[in-house]
Structure 1
Amino acid sequence: MCAHEIRLRIRELDIEIDLQNEVLKKLHHSKSCLQRQLNAIFDPISRLPLEISSEIFIQSLPTLPKRAASHVPMLLLNICSAWSAIAPQLWQAIRIDFPCADGMAELLSIWFQRGRSRPLTVVVDGDVGRWNENVSAVIWKHRPRLRHLEILDDWIYKSDYDHHNIDLRLGHREEEHLPLLEHLTFHGTSDERGCFRDHGEILELLYRAPNLVECVMDIQGTIFNDFRFRAENPDLPFLRSLTFGEQSDWYGWGADQWDDAILNHLTLPALEALSLPMRSVYGSHLRDFLERSAPPLQQLTMSWKYRGLDVHLHECLHLIPTLAKFTMWEPDERPVVDLIATLADFHYWLPNLRHLTIHMGSSSELSHIYDWFWLTLLRAVSQRRIQLDLFPRRRQRRSSLRSSNLMALKYISLIQNMMIAIFWSIVLS
């Protein structure tokens, strides 16, 4: 055969090979379809109605999403890829850990699409110094579906590389709101190397979430500048719970944490629970907030971080007759004594108070309080039927208590035995 004939024959064989490959592809597809049908016959999940099988998978979901590899949808896909369409609720929540893979934005789009129109829970964790702007774009694209958003920046372990703030792409258009957002958590810093550029950005995000129900702010940074970030402050008529940091951190962080100053820019007429470290909010600020908001506050937690801070306690508490649970962290001796005396002498003051917790500070240890205080305390809790928890801060031996103090404890034990609704919890170790 000449060279020309050989080339023609090779071309014919290539065409025949392509045809046979197409036949093989169709055969593989047919086999795969038949295999799925056979699996469906023996698969108990596939024989269940979609509503039941969906509910089974939904029951396996945790309250908050775990890391991607151990999150329920990923585990299910390792078993059967067809399960990706069984329950859209499986794709309502995702946890994004930074640094993340380059293809995270594309994966996030697929994840949200599988959730269809369901409300979304997004948790951002890790070192947000490697925040991915493409991820921001995807999250913000689906902002109308966001219901639960947590931004947790491990600021303690910052790297030395060029740092970037979180860019939520808030934009400047008024219509770019988050209508479904109900739960919002911040943990991180607010400075040139922090996860937020400034407190104004946080206020802007609050402004975009008018239906917010619960908010936790645990932000360390420079002092909050007293400025109005726009013509009006955020209107949050449905916010019921506001927490600034964790109580365990109130005495562990430095004096440069000023997140609670944001309270001066808020009006919260539906607030029921407030946890306030009083880092930068003075008593007059709290009083103004309560007068401005007139909230039906039921739970209040306050800290006396700075000794001698005048918190206008009586004025503030007088504005919240709905208060049912009051927690004091390391108060000075005088506020404790005044509070107990007022509770004992004025029955109309805080008529709904049922639970009082006092974490004593170094200046208000049990052995420092006058003897008559214990009799007043006994009268207050017995008349009011208040559940009282009292925790000394430092180690204190029982022998260091005065005899009348021990007698008061015995009286309280007698009251308990009489079935009066008082609970006394005291740590003496």
Structure 2
Amino acid sequence: MADSTMSPRRPLWPVLLLPGVMVAAALAWSAFWLFSASQVDRIVDQWRAREAAAGRSYDCGQRSVAGFPFRLEVRCDNASVALTAQTAEQAATQTPVTAKLAEILVVASLYQPSLLIAEFKGPASFADRGQPVSMELNWKTARSSVAGLPGTPERVALVFDEPALDGFRGATRVPLARARHAELHGRQREAAGAEPRQLEVDLKLDGTSVQDLHPLLADPFDAHLRLLLSGLKDFCPKPWPQRFREIQAAGGRIRFEQARIQQGDMVAVATGSLELTAQGYVDGELQMVASGLDQVIPKLGIDKMLEQGVSQSTLDRLAPGVRAKDVNNVLGALDRAIPGLGQVMRKNANVAAVAGIDALGQETTLEGRPARAFPLRFVDGAVMLGPLKIGQTRPLF
């Protein structure tokens, strides 16, 4: 006889509902991830096309997409980039430089595929087409980020820890540059009124030294530069010489919003703006304030220039009205501006050179220390400290 107290049989669908929902959600998420992976792949391809239009052609020996389930990773093994017309010299010769590195890993969030974060595995080697490797760049870590893709990038950042650049002279490796840390940031910035957007560039260098460029750069220094480029026609991909040419044609300027360099006890800051000549040279004037300037005089080569002397005709052109009877007064002012240099002048230099140094500027203070304020002029690419040429820049286009 059946037991009338038995409960009715329960349906199975409530038990299977939750697993079914989980399976459906997993399938939907997998489909979403696959779709997003295809989108990131497409964004990378569009970015490569943009860069190629700017003279920077990227290629991968092998590319793969991974990162399931919560992020997307595009890995490029045996990566290479051919750089064409990125400097005035390259634009003139159209000789491409090829850079190769072991791996690039690009990571994107599923919810923000327009922001790409990349890590680079070194070293990177550089060579002219058909030539042996001429330079090699290595680092402890290297990473970058690009926001705003696949359209015009809104922000770009590149960060290196312990970068080291070496050159090759035959089979001999020659150190060219070292840094403890280096950062480069660029972003679009709205301009006032109806002017087009401006480009802000922020560069930070810590513990940096550069060989074979200028004696002043051979010893470690820290630098922070924030520049604002105006006169940009657009932000379409193009080589830098072409962009600089457009800035010059539009009457744009390179404004130094912040510039600070420290090397040992020498500290210098600068403000002002520069423009470009029709020949591509930097032209203009920066107002500088420097403390500890006496420590870098030998590196600038000023003492050597002063020892050579200049003619009376040069004196009349650079410092009209100065005569021999003014020498002692000028030397005294020079000693106050740069201690010890006046004695060098008494032994080796004539009135013209002394008058030029004395005309550098006025006494002031910088970060609580005695300093000198003076103009640093750029005349068709020549860097002028008073009437003395201390450097020469290359044309930008």
- Structure whose residues are more often helix by fraction: 1
Q: Same fold (TM over 0.5)?
A: no
- TM normalised by structure 1 equals 0.24
- TM normalised by structure 2 equals 0.26
Task: Tell me which of the two structures has the higher relative contact order, counting C-alpha pairs closer than 8 angstroms and 6 or more residues apart.
Answer: 2
- Structure whose residues are more often strand by fraction: 2
